[in-house]
Amino acid sequence: MRTRPLKVALLGCGVVGSEVARIMTTHADDLTARIGAPVELAGVAVRRPDRVREGIAPGLVTTDATALVKRGDIDVVVEVIGGIEPARTLITTAFEHGASVVSANKALLAQDGAALHAVAEQHGRDLYYEAAVAGAIPLIRPLRESLAGDKINRVMGIVNGTTNFILDAMDSTGAGYQEALDEATALGYAEADPTADVEGFDAAAKAAILAGIAFHTRVRLDDVYREGMTEVTAADFASAKEMGCTIKLLAICERAGDGASVTARVHPAMIPLSHPLASVRGAYNAVFVESDAAGQLMFYGPGAGGSPTASAVLGDLVAVCRNRIGGATGPGESAYAALPVSPMGDVVTRYHISLDVADKPGVLAQVATVFAEHGVSIDTVRQSGKDGEASLVVVTHRASDAALTGTVEALRKLDTVRGVASIMRVEGE
């Protein structure tokens, strides 16, 4: 066994970084045995150097992250700062100075993954980021290695724990969105500013990363259709229950049409209670993968938190260290398929539409005609009325998003349609 230790620089020492440092210390013997050489924490870049960091020698702590990644003797840089800058520049500098990089930075990978992979490849170094998607759940490695001999057709998952916690609370207690969000905030599942989670930005970044890996195609954050879950109501959950469904915020990446293009999207959707994703509770994540040969797979586990994310970071750290010792690199970016990303209008799925309509004869016929004119086939209709007002719930067969949008626009113009109360996609059938 080689005895010169591999030197690791840690950028960021918050919830995840401190766990990475702790496990590197407490599991040092195991890591040495699994890697084939000791790993040594060579420096920790932080913003607030005066904060006491248990188990980290004060001499390792620095505020000068740039100097740390430029040292030249660093084998692996672990980036757990998050955000675009300074993370992007630091990672690029790390590659230029001979280090491989393990990152948990979904926003950066979704935006600049291709460029970072190119720099890594140019310098013959590894860029690993299992922790960027679905926390501790092994997902990047299974998709890009275990399924490397298969053809993935769809990746559909719950990849944001905060929104799943809120939706699960709404489902189980009948609470409204604001009440459930307040509970999530009080319990520490939602941040003070929950925008990135509830508006789907976090899930969209993960969808871009997953789609890129699954389809061997560059998918940028801008390519991902995104709809948050702030407008999901208790009434939507009641409608979902009537259909034997629940509501989840899903990231869905799939081949479109004849497989010549791909789509990626994040939005709330109804899914049947019998679907494995329906029973994913609380802040857990789960990702459902469909491929030609393997069929249907699901990966389930904690999607966030210091320890779970550190587990994923350390798995990557072991792999990258093993590669360095062996003089090899792991799989880099695979974007050879270069499929176009189709717009949301091309997505084909089912829809659940609630309309407020006038309670008089002929309304259903009018509405049904509009659907037919736009080529959207109706599966079921349920009508209920009181006091001159009525509601009409239409569930469609599969239709394109463009056709559905056209249908809804036309419905809004009908005198007898007072309003479109909700439109929700139905997935997982």
CB of 273 to a copy of itself, least distance (A): 11
Who contacts 59 (Cβ-Cβ below 8 Å, separation ≥6)?
none
Yes or no: say if 11 and 90 are a contact pair by the CB < 8 Å rule: yes
The CA distance from 145 to 124, in Å, is: 19
Q: Which of 164, 339, 395 is nearest to 266 (CA)?
A: 164
The CA distance from 377 to 363, in Å, is: 17
CB of 98 to a copy of itself, least distance (A): 18
CB of 11 to a copy of itself, least distance (A): 17
Q: Which of 93, 122, 109, 76 is nearest to 323 (CA)?
A: 76
- The question of whether 206 is a catalytic residue gets the answer yes
* Residue 287 CA: distances (Å) to CA of 150, 157, 290, 302, 342: 17, 4, 10, 11, 22
* φ, ψ of residue 96 in degrees (nearest 5): -60, -25
SS3 11: strand
Given the structure tokens 């769809």, which residue do they identify?
Answer: 154
The CA distance from 347 to 226, in Å, is: 13
Supply 104's token pair: 């948990």
Containing H/E element for 261? Answer: strand 261-272
CB of 101 to a copy of itself, least distance (A): 16
* Residue 280 CA: distances (Å) to CA of 164, 165, 272, 312, 318: 8, 10, 12, 20, 30
9 versus 312: smaller Cβ distance to a copy of itself: 312
Supply 113's token pair: 């993954």
Question: Which residues face 43 on adjacent strands?
Answer: 9
309 versus 396: smaller Cβ distance to a copy of itself: 309
CA 340 to chain centre: 20
Question: Which residues face 252 on adjacent strands?
Answer: 156, 265
Burial of residue 312 (CB within 10 Å: 0-12, 13-18, 19+) is: buried
57 versus 336: smaller Cβ distance to a copy of itself: 336
Containing H/E element for 272? Answer: strand 261-272
183 versus 299: smaller Cβ distance to a copy of itself: 299
CB of 168 to a copy of itself, least distance (A): 14
DSSP state of 341: B
Given the structure tokens 């509405």, which residue do they identify?
Answer: 367
39 versus 376: smaller Cβ distance to a copy of itself: 39
CB of 70 to a copy of itself, least distance (A): 26
CB of 148 to a copy of itself, least distance (A): 4
Q: At what angle do helices 234-242 and 161-173 cross, to 10 degrees?
A: 70
Residues that bind a copy of itself (CB under 8 A): 19, 23, 27, 30-31, 33-34, 130, 136-138, 141-142, 145-151, 216, 276, 279, 291-302, 305, 307-308, 310-319, 322-323, 326-329, 331, 334, 336-337
Identified catalytic residue from 7, 70, 206, 386: 206
CB of 76 to a copy of itself, least distance (A): 12
Q: Which residues are catalytic?
A: 206
